[in-house]
Structure 1
Amino acid sequence: MSSREPASYARAVYDSLVAALTAEGQEQLLPAVLDELVQLARSGGPTAAEVTSAVELSAEQRTKIEKDLKARYGALLDIAYKVDPEILGGLLVRVGDKVLDSTLRQRLNAVQRNMMAG
């Protein structure tokens, strides 16, 4: 692979990005999108995150969760949402290898363990 090939690929990607943003009337987003691409390249890609709730979350709830997770773990998250009635309430959040369990099921299990222990 010659040193010009990566540059020509980069140019083609850039041209496609500019064309897509222009078609949507979003040219002003180009600097922010390029910053995100640089961060993606440096980090190796977005971190997978999964948010599990007992019921479907509203768009407003999802927006708040995304804002909170991105502030805590970084802007490069690929967030998937899942519904599992078994958790009863609260949220189960997995980001990479980290787990935050604030589910009602987990709390009830903790109460049960405490009652059996003492």
Structure 2
Amino acid sequence: MLTSKVAKRYAQGLLEFTTESGQTEAVFSEMKDVVKIMSESADLNKFFLTPYVDANKKTEIANEIFKNFSPVAQNLIRLIIKNGRESQLKNVAQQFINKVEDINGVQRITLTTATQLSNENIEQILRSTNLVNSSATFDLEVNVKPEILGGYILRVGDQQVDASVKAKLDKIKKDFQLN
């Protein structure tokens, strides 16, 4: 997913501020909560995207939802809403999380399979490729998409290994069309 420049800039500004004030870990945890809340609540997303609700009402609702957050996180959320960027709130939070994880050396790994796999199978897939640094910590996200038919798609950072049956069938189909 492409992330907007706006989200990257807000996240970078937040990172610089929290680094100077020593609040990076606390805000990191809160930004994970923002991503979780925004991912789970379609109604909240619709509310923030509604153009006829004014910024004051959106700020009031955000203050209630995020009332247990630190002043830094609350001020960021209010600033985003005040500037009319509430549609980017989740992206800003995710970009901040990504930046902090990059600093801490955490690898982001996405594994897509056709069916749910056991932990042993997941570990075997991760060990079978040289993309995964075994000594580094990683954040693993496992997705199940039956449309890949079998195999797996492993994405580590910006690199990807597509060992899915669908990809192999598409390659065979392309080869037949060329010949």
Fold shared, TM-score > 0.5 on shorter chain: yes
**Does 2:165 align with 1:116?**
no
Give the drift of 1:81.
0.6
Equivalent residue for 2:113? 53
5+ unaligned residues in a row in structure 2: which ranges? Answer: 1-20, 23-99
CA distance in 2, matches of 1:66, 1:109: 24
Instruction: Give 1:65 deviation, angstroms.
Output: 2.7
2:149 corresponding residue in structure 1: 88
Q: What is the Cα-based RMSD across aligned positions, in Å? A: 2.6
- Summarize the Cα distance change of 1:76–1:98 in structure 2 as closer, same or farther, 3 Å threshold: same
How far did residue 80 of structure 1 move? 0.9
How far, CA to CA, are the matches of 1:99 and 1:60 in structure 2?
21
The amino acid of 1:112's aligned partner reads K
Alignment CA distance shift 1:111-1:58 (3 Å): same
Shift of 1:86: 0.3
Which of 57, 76, 93 aligns to 2:137? It is: 76
Q: Could you list the structure 1 runs, at least 4 aligned residues long, displaced by more than 6 angstroms after superposition.
A: none
Consecutive unaligned residues in structure 1, runs of 5 or more: 7-40
Mapped partners of 1:87, 1:76: distance in 2: 28
Question: What SS is found at the alignment partner of 2:124?
Answer: helix
Supply the distance in 1 between the matched residues of 2:126 and 2:132 (Cα, whole angstroms): 10
- What secondary structure does 1:73 align onto? coil
Rounded Cα–Cα distance in structure 1 between residues aligned with 2:154 and 2:126: 11
Q: Percent identity?
A: 27
Distance 1:116 1:81, change over 3 A: same
Pair 1:106-2:170 in alignment: no
1:67 to 1:115, Cα distance in 2 relative to 1, 3 A: closer
Contact 2:126 2:132 in 1 (8 A): no
Query: Match of 2:112, as an amino acid?
Result: T
- AA aligned opposite 1:55: T
Give the superposition deviation at 1:62.
1.8
Q: Distance in 1 between matches of 2:168 and 2:126?
A: 24
CA offset at residue 84 of structure 1? Answer: 0.3
- When residues 104 and 76 of structure 1 are mapped into structure 2, their CA distance, relative to the original with a 3 A threshold, is same
The 2-side partners of 1:66 and 1:113 are apart by 29
The answer to whether structure 1 residue 44 and structure 2 residue 120 are counterparts is: no
3-state SS in 1 of match to 2:150: coil
Deviation at 1:68, TM superposition (A): 4.1
- Give the TM-score normalised by structure 1: 0.58
TM-score by length of 2: 0.39
* Deviation digits for residues 68-117 of structure 1 (CA, Å, limit 9, x no counterpart): 45x64322221111100000000101100001001000000000000000
